[in-house]
Amino acid sequence: MNATGPGPLGAPDPGTTRPGAAGLELTGLSKSFPAAAGERLVLDAVSLSCAPGSFTALIGPSGCGKSTLLRLVAGLERPSGGQIGIGGLSPDQMRTSGRLGIAFQDAALLPWRSVVDNVALPLEVLGKRQRGQDAHVQELVRLVGLSGYEKARPRQLSGGMRQRVAIARALVTRPDMLLLDEPFGALDQILRRAMNLELQRIWMADRPTTLLVTHGIDEAVFLADEVVVLGANPGRIVARIPIDLPRPRTPEMIYSVYFQTLQGQISRALEQGTGR
Ligand SMILES: Nc1ncnc2c1ncn2[C@@H]1O[C@H](COP(=O)(O)OP(=O)(O)OP(=O)(O)O)[C@@H](O)[C@H]1O
Ligand SMILES: [Mg+2]
């Protein structure tokens, strides 16, 4: 966690990379799971490097290993081969020091806790929840559009609202590395666009190194510095497409010829990766 520099709620500062940001280095990463007939190779020799403060989108067919890759980077699974470095630290070191924020594909909220108490959970785990800090928690709840639901329990929320709680929880420690697994999958298109803009604003203000898993080609192009396309069986990188659009990205850019060309490139790479 970085105590200096602009906070996630401060003014966007497009020119700055925060001093604490950690680059991600994946080297020959592979993962197998036990299967009926021996082992099943899910990720095969994935090598990827993401600069400190960069935004990378991962896109690929269902089952190609995107969530597995995120869980490996978060230290929640062990690699079968290869290495993971995050600013020279291991995933475990990053996670246990609160420098890594993750929003899972299923929101994974604690059902007996209110919205605010779910968002604040990582601070409690780190022993850093203080009276004064709840203002920050409340502001994150507002940012993800859940004002008025602070005391609600997860069962009282829609699927999209639960996902937004999970995003706020991932951001609450101001992580250096942010892992988002299809965070907007359950949102309608209009809300998704609004949340994309909000995520860009938060990211530009705080510059965590970010890995976003998405099935939305437009979302990937809109948000990322680079789109990494994965193929399936086994999961591997089939294309890396740099997105050379200025920041902040605006909704009008979606209709530009360049944006559409990029979408076409990603779409073709996805088709090749699935062999369809
Ligand atoms: N703990 C596990 N044990 C056994 N197999 C697993 C485990 N976790 C994932 N897998 C398998 O690994 C493969 C990749 O799963 P993963 O969840 O990473 O896919 P994904 O790319 O995130 O898919 P989706 O887009 O549907 O979310 C799947 O075939 C899945 O069955
Ligand atoms: Mg997944």
Question: What SS3 class is residue 190?
Answer: helix
- How many Cα atoms are found within 13 Å in the side-chain-facing hemisphere of 244? 3
Right CATH for 24-99+176-274 from 3.30.300.20, 3.50.50.60, 3.40.50.300, 2.40.50.140: 3.40.50.300
Instruction: Give me ligand 1 centre to Cα 234, in Å.
Output: 11
pTM for this predicted structure = 0.90
- By the 10 Å C-beta count (0-12 exposed, 13-18 middle, 19+ buried), 119 is classed as buried
Tokens, residue 204: 């530009």
| pLDDT tens sequence across 154-183 | 999 998 899 899 999 999 989 999 999 999
How large is the average pLDDT for residues 207-230?
97
CB of 19 sitting under 6 A from ligand 1:
no
Nearest to 129 by CA among 98, 87, 161, 160: 98
Percent of the chain with pLDDT strictly greater than 90:
69
Ligand 1 atom showing the smallest separation from residue 60 Cα:
21
Residue 6 CA to residue 139 CA, distance in Å, equals 15
pLDDT tens digits along 87-123: 989 999 998 888 999 998 887 899 999 999 999 999 8
What number of H helices and E strands is found in the chain?
Answer: 9, 9
Asked if 148 and 156 touch (Cβ cutoff 8 Å), the reply is: no
214 — pLDDT class (breaks 50, 70, 90): very high
| Residue ranges of domains in the chain | 24-99+176-274, 109-174
Residue 36's pLDDT band (boundaries 50, 70, 90)?
confident
* Cβ(112) – ligand 1 distance below 6 Å: no
- Whether the Cβ atoms of residue 247 and residue 14 lie closer than 8 Å to each other: yes
Asked whether 39 lines ligand 1 (CB < 6 A), one says no
